[in-house]
Structure 1
Amino acid sequence: MVSDKQAQIEAAVFRRLLKHLDARKDVQNIELMNLAGFCRNCFSKWMVAEAKEQGETIDIDDARQQVYGMPYSEWKEKHQLPATPEQLATFEALQKK
Structure 2
Amino acid sequence: MSHPAPPSEHAPLDHETTAIEAAAFRRLLAHLMHERRDVQNIDLMILAGFCRNCLADWYREAAQARGIAMSKDEAREAIYGMPFGEWKAQFQKDATPEQLAAFEAAQKHHD
Structure-1-length-normalised TM-score: 0.91
**1:15 maps to amino acid:** R
Deviations 1:23-57 (A, max 9, x none): 10000000000001111000000011112222222
Counterpart residue number, 1:87: 99
Q: 1:58 aligns with which of 38, 46, 70?
A: 70
SS at match of 1:91: helix
Displacement of 1:93 in angstroms is 2.1
Q: How does 1:14-93 map to 2 (within 5 A)?
A: 14-22=25-33, 23-93=35-105
Displacement of 1:94 in angstroms is 2.0
Structure-2-length-normalised TM-score: 0.81
Q: Which protein is richer in helix relative to its size?
A: 1
Asked whether the equivalents of residues 47 and 58 of structure 1 are also in contact (C-alpha less than 8 Å), the reply is: no
Give the number of aligned pairs.
Answer: 96
Gaps of at least 5 residues in structure 1 are none
Structure possessing the higher radius of gyration over alpha carbons: 2
Gaps of at least 5 residues in structure 2 are 1-12
Q: CA RMSD in A?
A: 1.3
